Amino acid sequence: MQQVGLLGCGNIATILAAHGEGTLDIAACHEIDASRMRDYADRTGASPCESLDALLRSAVPVLLEAASIDAVTSSLLPALAAGKDVIVLSVGGLYDAGFLAEARQAAAAAGRRIYVPSGAIFGLDNLRVARLVGLQSLRLKSTKHPRSLGLDALTEPECVFRGRAGEAVTRFPKNINVSSALGLATGMEPEVEIWADPGIESNRHEIHAAGDFGEVSIVTDNLPSPENPATSYLAALSVLALVKRLGDPLQVGS
C-alpha cells in the first residue's frame, strides 16, 4: 500500500479516501481551507499539516497533488527538492514549457519521479506510441453540462471555446486538464473545442489523432462526481490505477 501526503482535501480527495482502501494510505494532508482540512483529517485519519512546508517535512515518500494548477506550480519543485515523488492531477500546471523543463531537471537531480495519471480519458498509452512515428494532427472536443463550466444560463448547446490547448488551459483551468495530458503524451499541442450542452449529464471527451501510423478516434463518456460536476470519477480513480501499477511487478501497456 502506497503512503502519500495529500495536497488538497476537496472532492477528488474524498473519492480517493472512499475507494483507496488497500491501495492508498493517506498519511498526511494539507489544504488552504483549514476547516475542510481538519474535517478531512478527522474522517480519514490523516495527519493535518498547517502549511505546505509541514506537509513536505512529513515522512511520506510521495506528494499527491489534488488541488489546483497554482498548487502544482507552488509545490512541485519544493517537493522534489524534499526528496519526494509527485503525482500531479492538475496537469495544466505542467503546460508551461519553461516550468516543465525546470521540473524535469529538478526531478532528475533529486532522483525523483513526476507521475501524471491518465485522468478523464482512455488511450494515452497508445497515443504515446503514435508519437514515435509522428503525428500530423491532434484534436480534442470536450462537452460538458453548462453548470460544470459556470455557464448555468445557457439553454442550448454552444461552443464556448475553439483554439489551441495552451489558451484553453488559461481560460478553463479547472475543466481542461485533458488537453494538457494529451500534449504531454504526444509532444503536440492539440486543437481544442469546448462545448456546453444542457442536454448532457456526462463529461464527454472526443479525441482524433492522425499520423504515419494511421488514424484513431477515442470517445470517453464518463459520469461526473455528484459532489462536483466539474470532476469525473474516472479522473480520481485513475490515480488509484496508477498507484497500483507502480507497485505491480507485471507491467501491461506501453
Strand partners, 137: 210
Catalytic residue among 19, 30, 145, 205: 205
**How many degrees, rounded to 5, is the angle at CA 190 between CA 186 and CA 191?**
160
* 30 catalytically annotated: no
**What type of residue sits at position 38?**
R
How far apart, in whole angstroms, are the C-alpha atoms of residue 108 and residue 232? 32
Ramachandran assignment for 241, one of left (phi > 0), alpha (psi -120 to 50 degrees), beta (any other)? alpha
The closest of 245, 26, 234, 251 to 118, measured between CA atoms, is 234
Task: Give the gyration radius of the chain's Cα atoms.
Answer: 18
Active site residues: 205
